[in-house]
Amino acid sequence: MTEVSNPSEDFSVFPISIPPVPAFPVKATHYLYLRRNAPRIPTPDDSRSLFIANVPCDSTEVHFRALFASLVGAGRFEGITFEQDKKTSKSSHEPAQSVRLAAHRKRKRSDEELLNAKDEAAAELPSTWSRQIYRSGSSAVALLADEKSVELILKAVRKLKKPKDYPVWGEGVGDKAPPLGSLWLKTHNKLSYPGNDVVQSIMDTYFTVFNRKEKEADQLAKRLRNEPDEDGFVTVTRGGRAAPARRDEAEEAKQKMLEKQQKKKDEMTDFYRFQMREKKKAEQVEILKRFEEDKKRVQAMKEKRGKFRPES
């Protein structure tokens, strides 16, 4: 792969050697771009994180662990988060009433939380891909052991001058990462058609979790109808069995009321002729006042500059 012609001065260019493969039996050089991680919203781990641009499309955590180990030794690398993984969001399977009452829910015991987390994980459909492929030119954030590890890696990258010193991509990975190619597609085809017993087990677990959350939401709504808040007020509900009124609905009603009041106020402005006359007079007085201020400002600038005397 060709090197980007004008990389940013903030980045360190990290060349890696791509070994030949049957589909492309030519040795190539790929260029990574590294710098200290500096997101818009700071996090506690920024000082020991590296932002990596232009990651290879077949990247895995195992690949980067082996890559950094070849530079500064083992024990410096902790993990990596790819850009594509951040943007991937799971759809919520929570009942609607459970989502609305999430802020009022009490914290459970740790063992009960762990059991519920296992049930929710078992209710998810299995992935159909054994290994993720990332788009070309994507980025990632690597988490290292400490700030010293960041400095050591950046220093080691700057020392890479000759192609014979470039680390080899995939060296030391072995069987730790799932294979690509035809085996990858065969595995995908197999994972796409799980057995009926597997699907049935997942669906049973899913509805067990859904019914449990729905029951908890009903109990919480019933408790809130009879429990005063910090100011001593009891939550007003819609109907006998429904949950408390949604906060976004209350905000929407409040916004509509404010817009109605503002519209009525705007309609009464400049309604009478004398109001328009007074408004125009006020505008003229304001213009004259600013004009006089500008004249004084210009006069002061002239006096400060002094008179111009040409040389004889």
Cβ(38)–Cβ(25) under 8 Å?
no
For residue 119, give Cα distances in angstroms to 15, 62, 112, 201. Answer: 45, 29, 11, 11
Across the beta sheet with 139-144, the strand order is 12-18, 28-36, 49-53, 139-144, 77-82
For residue 163, give Cα distances in angstroms to 6, 20, 27, 31, 159. Answer: 20, 15, 11, 12, 11
Residue-wise pLDDT for 33-55, tens only, equals 999 999 988 899 999 999 999 99
Read off the pTM: 0.60
CA-wise closest residue to 92 among 257, 239, 209: 209
pLDDT > 50? residue 7:
no
CB 250: neighbour CB atoms within 10 A?
Answer: 12
Cβ(17)–Cβ(166) under 8 Å?
yes
Please calculate the CA angle 18-166-150 and round it to the nearest 5 degrees: 110
Cβ(165)–Cβ(29) under 8 Å?
no
CB 69: neighbour CB atoms within 10 A?
Answer: 16
pLDDT at 2 (0 to 100):
39
Residue-wise pLDDT for 234-271, tens only, equals 656 554 544 555 556 667 777 888 888 888 777 666 66
The stretch 67-75 carries a mean pLDDT of: 91
Cβ(178)–Cβ(184) under 8 Å?
yes
Q: Which residue has the tokens 């400049």?
A: 270
Q: What is the mean pLDDT of the chain?
A: 81
Which amino acid does the sequence have at 287?
A: I
Identify the H or E element spanning 217: helix 196-225
pLDDT at 4 (0 to 100):
42
